[in-house]
Homo-oligomer: A and B are copies of this chain.
């Protein structure tokens, strides 16, 4: 369908409507930008949610973006901007003059601002800082002080705080006053004179309370909080577990230093899941999305483990060489090798994935290892027996009764051992403070492969010797 550039944008379906195609909207926007239809573009943007404008703008090149972003309504521009991928945010900031970039930074939410600031070169940071207001400078300094991956590094300083002695009426007035600058006012944090966190209260409870009651009587003093150095994953888990809108972050003195909001926790949880999946297939952690990662980055994140695994597979090669004579006289054994070895690897990677995910979500803990081991022994034994039956039939059909015995016996060993290794390695990794996700997938496959090859030819040579080379 060809879009008429005059009426193009106005007649496009909106996101959520049937027939909406991002690709088509991007093309129409490009045409409109080229034709300088500022009014039409402004109107089009106004009809969309900031995230949808962001989806379109992220597909543009830098010069187009510089042209389009100022056409977003003032009250939505920052929201659209922070929705863009970091690389595009950086490119854009670098095209701005000092005045424009200080305006942008002053308007941004505290957490996103700190993230962007950290990506600037030291020189750019030094140039920008004097242009920012004192409060913003201080804020950036505090928020960027925390190590990547900690709760401190994702928190925002824009929370609402109350005093325990305030009346509910005063508290509501106060929240109304600060609402425009706060990430959330639905949860507020009650602090003492040293800003130590002593309670939490929700706007719902404040609204339902008597106006003359004290905040102290309404607040919940059983506080769920995280320390500034806790991991982001731990903070996100707490938000999910306790169904919070926001989690307060405190330092060692229980002084509140920020909050992590539920929407940030959702992003953290999604990033963690992605990293776990990637690690499970031996892909390193990507800084950007698949689409936005350059080829060299993808290559780097993949080649390391692949080459390590080549080295790991040399063990299998070594073992096979030791059985060369056996193989030369019983070539049929080779045809069962992929099947037997893969079955161990598959059972192992099933187990590893189950363990890694359950440990990752906190559903099981390291101390549950024995319970899980016993359960896996039962499960893998049942699996091994079923598969042994299947492979015995194949062995008899393609070879003879002796081959059937060799392959089914091997199958039992390989599946049970493979499954147990897969189930236990993530526990061992966690116990030694390594990421359990690194223990899944290809690494386990290589390990079990070598083991499987050894068991297979070991069993075969024992049995065939017993039967004096009965083939």
Which residues on A are within 8 Å of B, measured CB to CB? 16, 22-23, 47-49, 51, 172, 175-176, 179-180, 185-186, 203-204, 207-208, 222, 224-225, 239-243, 245, 262-263, 265-267, 269-270, 273-274, 276-278, 280-283, 289-291, 295, 298-299, 302-303, 305-307, 309-310, 313-314, 316-318, 320-321, 324, 327-328, 331-332, 334-339, 341-343, 345-347, 349-350, 352-358, 361, 363-365, 367-368, 371-372, 375, 378-379, 382-383, 386-387, 390-391, 394, 398, 415, 440-442, 445-446, 449, 453
Contacts and interface: CB of A to CB of B under 8 A. Distances in A.
A302 B347 contact: yes
A289 B343 contact: no
A267 to B, nearest CB: 7
A357 B276 CA distance: 11
Given A265-B266, A270-B361, A291-B358, A186 B203 contact: yes
A280 B353 contact: yes
A367 B23 CA distance: 9
A328 B331 CA distance: 6
Q: Copy number in this complex?
A: 2
A324 B335 CA distance: 9
B263 A240 contact: yes
Given A270-B240, A281-B352, A299 B382 contact: yes
A263 B263 contact: no
A399 B260 CA distance: 59
B352 A290 contact: no
B353 A339 contact: no
B354 A306 contact: no
Nearest to A307: B390
A222 B76 CA distance: 13
Nearest to A368: B291
A295 to B, nearest CB: 5
A280 to B, nearest CB: 7
20 contacts: A277-B280, A277-B356, A282-B350, A283-B350, A290-B358, A295-B378, A299-B382, A299-B383, A302-B347, A303-B383, A306-B350, A306-B383, A307-B386, A307-B387, A310-B387, A310-B394, A313-B342, A317-B335, A321-B335, A338-B449
A334 B309 CA distance: 18
Contacts of A280: 277, 280-281, 353
SS of A interface (majority): helix
A236 to B, nearest CB: 9
A49 B222 contact: yes
A332 B321 contact: yes
A327 B179 CA distance: 76
A379 B302 contact: yes
Given A23-B367, A289-B363, A299-B382, A442 B349 contact: yes
B290 A222 contact: no
Given A179-B207, A310-B387, 8 more contacts: A22-B365, A23-B367, A185-B207, A240-B267, A291-B364, A303-B382, A306-B383, A310-B343
A324 B331 contact: yes
Contact of A317 (B23, B306, B339, B383): B339
Given A283-B353, A324-B331, A338-B316, A309 B267 contact: no
A310 B334 contact: no
Given A270-B361, A277-B357, A363-B289, A317 B336 contact: yes
A346 B306 contact: yes
A434 to B, nearest CB: 19
A316 B332 contact: no
B341 A338 contact: yes
Contacts of A383: 299, 302-303, 306
A305 B318 CA distance: 30
Nearest to A271: B361
A309 B342 contact: yes
Given A383-B302, A383-B303, A442-B349, A398 B317 contact: yes
A307 B449 CA distance: 18
Nearest to A377: B295
Contacts of A336: 317
